[in-house]
Amino acid sequence: MKLVMAIIKPFKLDEVRDALTGIGVHGLTVTEVKGYGRQKGHTEIYRGAEYAVSFLPKLKIEVAVAAGSVEKVVEAIAAAAKTGQIGDGKIFVHSIDQAVRIRTGETDNDAL
């Protein structure tokens, strides 16, 4: 089992969700996060004063999948989230040692 975690631009969420649904992924977790990488933020003008915005709004998507589905999920997220501009995001893959569905007690791949 693997946990695929992706940091994406907020306006790409619907496209990523549709892409994941299209390959059979029916559950995900979305968290609003802030951060920066090479994009390094930008400046904005508010009421005539210039402010540095160093942490940019992003979304973190987490999807638990069977190990055999990882490549398909990563490819779907990357294709749907790509704009070709700096700040498109990153995808990370973590191992999951154990999963339990609380309601039924199902474990591991059955719990996904």
User: Across residues 23-31, what is the average pLDDT?
Assistant: 94
Mean pLDDT of the region 57-67: 95
**DSSP β-bridge partners for residue 34:** 57
Per-residue model confidence (pLDDT) at position 47: 76
State both tokens at 96. Answer: 């999951």
- pLDDT of 6 over the 80 cut: yes
Q: What is the mean pLDDT of residues 102-110?
A: 92
Residue spans of the domains in the chain: they are: 2-111
What mean pLDDT, rounded, does the chain reach?
Answer: 90
Q: Tell me the CATH number of domain 2-111, given options 3.40.50.300, 3.40.1360.10, 3.40.50.2000, 3.30.70.120.
A: 3.30.70.120
Is the pLDDT at 64 greater than 90? The verdict is yes
